[in-house]
Amino acid sequence: MSGTSSPSTRSEQDLSRTPVLALVQPADQPPERMIEAARRAEDAGLEEVWIWEDCFAASGIGPAAAMLAATRELRVGIGLLPVPLRAPSLTAMELASLASMFPGRFLPGLGHGVLDWMGQAGVRVSSPVTLLREHVDAIRRLLHGEEVTTQGRYVDLDRVRLRFPPEVVPPVLVGGRGPRTLALAGELADGIIMDDAAPEGRALPDRVAQVIEIVGAARDEADREGRAEVIGFLPTASDAEPAFVAEQAHALWQAGVDRVVSFAGGVDGPPAQGDEVLHFVDVLAEVADAMDR
pLDDT of the chain along its 293 residues, tens only? 444 444 445 678 766 567 899 999 999 999 999 999 999 999 999 999 999 999 999 999 999 999 999 999 999 999 999 999 999 999 999 999 999 999 999 999 999 999 999 999 999 999 999 999 999 999 999 999 999 999 999 999 999 999 999 999 999 999 999 999 999 999 999 999 999 999 999 999 999 999 999 999 999 999 999 999 999 999 999 999 999 999 999 999 999 999 999 999 999 999 999 999 999 999 999 999 887 76
3-class SS of residue 241: coil
Q: Using CA atoms, how far apart are residues 30 and 222, in angstroms rounded to an integer?
A: 41
Query: What is the value of pTM for the model shown?
Result: 0.94
3-class SS of residue 274: coil
Question: What does residue 152 show for φ and ψ, rounded to 5 degrees?
Answer: -100, -170
CB 236 within 8 A of CB 267: yes
